[in-house]
């Protein structure tokens, strides 16, 4: 932990790195959010359309959740900066996530309450619980992400925690697709009722698994104390204007938004793409996303063992975005007759996703630095941009979606091809441009020399994390 000296003007020594258990227990704290989010972005639009909602109305349900999520990130960030209590916000949000998620994929609860199954009631009911789900999701996300800078001031440990969190996200996604693959194999969907049963079991098992890791997080992670250490004078809460006057804030915000657009938009439409455009079997809805997240997990494990600096963050972000440009173009042009090529493309996409997400989250931590009393606002405001942009992007794409007849040749001009390949590739090009303009503020020469001498002790974790 930090040595108790406060203020940017005072000499700051390198903090001791965190050990294996604190990093791992923190890393699994987002598993409930991750496993439900994987199901949400991969299957929500598909589920709603399979039970009878039009593409545009299914997108309205998604958008209502994203808008609620975006607004809640601002509220949660402000409240956490004012009052702290990270773990209280975390557990409260997790409760809302569990209840509302089962109410969306478990069938139309509002229809059951009102005793009607009208189209309008179904749309309103799913939209309401989508909003509640995302409110809880945002509270959990902001509290969990903003804990990083308040748990340690060691830069390598901070990136390791972000990387371990990303690796846990991949485990959660793989778990979700494993559950989905098992359910799709056991419960055959012949009617609309069978489809509801499929996703109900996926939802219930996902919530149970996420709650198990939630217990591990709260048992192994202490409430952060770096905001006000015993020998420090408590710092005043940082005003929003402080961040709005920093060019780096806008650069990191744009990069984080682009990273989320790349991963979330492609993930939301890939189930449509592999089944409708590539004519692959039903199991591909689980196997292709599973390959993507398996590769992301492996790359995240490698990344969390590295020592980090600003140059490496920018370089690996650029590499990840470049991989997405290549794979996105290939996905867009891939004919259905060559659908087996989707397997190696999924490997490349998985590696690119890990590189983009780990580096952008690391840039968030670099932006916050030692300004701990404004960290929740940074994470909250950046998440606000992420939620709103993803919701609007999916709404616009689905507004142009046209249902096709079985066996109809769809060609290249489809929403799922654009959303899974071409549009994420365009976002990646923009990310490369923005990354090239980044100018991260490094420490002064004296501090750099001191940290270099201490790097052998403070630059690495006590032991490898996941090997």
Q: In whole angstroms, what is the distance from residue 80 CA to residue 74 CA?
A: 10
Residue 227: pLDDT above 70? no
- The three-class DSSP label of residue 209 is helix
Which pLDDT belongs to residue 333? 92
* Tokens 């089944």 belong to residue: 275
Which pLDDT belongs to residue 207? 94
Q: How far is CA 106 from CA 48, 57, 100, 101, 125, in A?
A: 12, 19, 9, 8, 12
Which pLDDT belongs to residue 305? 67
Within 10 A of 424 (CB to CB), how many other CB atoms are there? 31
Number of domains present in the structure of the chain? 1
Q: In whole angstroms, what is the distance from residue 325 CA to residue 421 CA?
A: 9
Q: In whole angstroms, what is the distance from residue 295 CA to residue 346 CA?
A: 8
Whether 19 is covered by a domain: the verdict is no
Whether 2 is covered by a domain: the verdict is no
Check: CB of residue 356 under 8 Å from CB of residue 296. no
9-18, 105-114, 119-128, 367-376: range with highest mean pLDDT: 119-128
Q: Is 152 left (phi over 0), alpha (psi -120 to 50) or beta?
A: beta
Mean pLDDT of the chain: 80
Whether 15 is covered by a domain: the verdict is no
Report pLDDT digits (tens) over 425-451: 999 999 999 998 887 765 433 344 444
Whether 249 is covered by a domain: the verdict is yes
Residue 195: HSE in the Cβ half-sphere, 13 Å Cα cutoff: 14
Under the banding of pLDDT at 50, 70 and 90, the label for residue 372 is low
Check: CB of residue 37 under 8 Å from CB of residue 101. no
Q: In whole angstroms, what is the distance from residue 273 CA to residue 280 CA?
A: 9
Task: Annotate 10-46 with DSSP letters as a single string.
Answer: S--PPPPPP-HHHHHHHHGGGHHHHHHHHHHHHHHHH
Report pLDDT digits (tens) over 273-295: 998 888 888 788 888 988 998 88
Which pLDDT belongs to residue 326? 95
Check: CB of residue 28 under 8 Å from CB of residue 216. yes
Whether 464 is covered by a domain: the verdict is no
Give the CATH number of the domain where residue 170 resides. Answer: 1.20.1250.20
* Tokens 């370089």 belong to residue: 315
Total-model pTM:
0.71
Within 10 A of 16 (CB to CB), how many other CB atoms are there? 17
Within 10 A of 466 (CB to CB), how many other CB atoms are there? 17
Which pLDDT belongs to residue 371? 67
Report pLDDT digits (tens) over 23-43: 888 888 889 999 998 899 888
* Tokens 């925690």 belong to residue: 161
Report pLDDT digits (tens) over 163-179: 788 778 878 888 898 99
Q: How far is CA 83 from CA 59, 96, 175, 189, in A?
A: 35, 21, 35, 48
Whether 12 is covered by a domain: the verdict is no
Q: In whole angstroms, what is the distance from residue 28 CA to residue 96 CA?
A: 18
Domain that holds residue 132: 26-439
Check: CB of residue 265 under 8 Å from CB of residue 390. yes
């Amino acid at each position: 932990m930090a040595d108790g000296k406060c203020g940017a003007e005072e000499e700051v020594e390198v903090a001791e790195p965190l050990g294996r258990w604190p990093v791992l227990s923190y890393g699994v704290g987002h598993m409930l959010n991750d496993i439900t989010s994987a199901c949400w972005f991969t299957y929500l639009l598909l589920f709603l359309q399979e039970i009878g909602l039009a593409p545009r109305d299914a997108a309205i349900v998604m958008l209502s959740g994203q808008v609620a999520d975006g607004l809640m990130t601002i509220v949660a960030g402000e409240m956490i900066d004012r009052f702290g209590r990270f773990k209280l916000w975390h557990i409260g949000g997790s409760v809302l996530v569990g209840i509302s998620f089962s109410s969306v994929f478990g069938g139309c609860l509002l229809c059951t309450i009102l005793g009607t199954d009208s189209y309008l009631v179904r749309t309103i009911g799913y939209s309401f619980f989508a909003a509640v789900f995302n409110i809880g999701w945002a509270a959990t996300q902001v509290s969990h992400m903003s804990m990083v800078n308040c748990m340690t001031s060691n830069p390598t440990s901070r990136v390791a925690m972000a990387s371990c969190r990303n690796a846990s996200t991949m485990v959660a996604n793989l778990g979700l697709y494993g559950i989905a693959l098992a359910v799709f194999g056991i419960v055959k969907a012949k009617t609309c009722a069978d489809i509801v049963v499929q996703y109900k079991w996926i939802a219930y098992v996902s919530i149970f698994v996420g709650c198990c890791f939630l217990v591990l997080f709260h048992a192994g992670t202490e409430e952060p104390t770096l905001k006000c250490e015993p020998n420090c004078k408590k710092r005043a809460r940082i005003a929003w204007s402080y961040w709005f006057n920093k060019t780096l804030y806008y650069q990191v915000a744009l990069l984080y938004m682009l990273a989320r657009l790349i991963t979330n938009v492609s993930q939301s439409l890939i189930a449509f793409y592999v089944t409708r455009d590539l004519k692959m079997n039903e199991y591909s809805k689980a196997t292709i996303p599973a390959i993507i997240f398996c590769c992301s997990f492996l790359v995240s494990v490698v990344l969390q063992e590295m020592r980090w600096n600003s140059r490496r963050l920018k370089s690996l972000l650029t590499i990840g975005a470049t991989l997405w440009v290549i794979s996105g173009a290939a996905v867009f042009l891939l004919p259905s007759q060559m659908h087996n090529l989707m397997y190696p493309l999924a490997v490349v996409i998985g590696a690119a996703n890990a590189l983009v997400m780990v580096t952008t989250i690391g840039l968030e931590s670099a932006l916050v630095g030692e300004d701990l009393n404004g960290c929740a606002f940074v994470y909250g405001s950046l998440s606000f941009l992420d939620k709103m942009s993803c919701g609007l992007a999916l709404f616009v794409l689905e507004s142009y979606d046209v249902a096709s007849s079985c066996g109809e040749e769809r060609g290249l001009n489809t929403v799922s091809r654009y959303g899974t390949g071409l549009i994420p590739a365009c976002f990646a090009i923009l990310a490369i441009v923005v990354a090239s303009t980044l100018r991260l503020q490094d420490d002064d020469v004296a501090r750099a020399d001191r940290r270099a001498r201490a790097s052998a002790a403070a630059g690495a974790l006590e032991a490898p994390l996941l090997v």
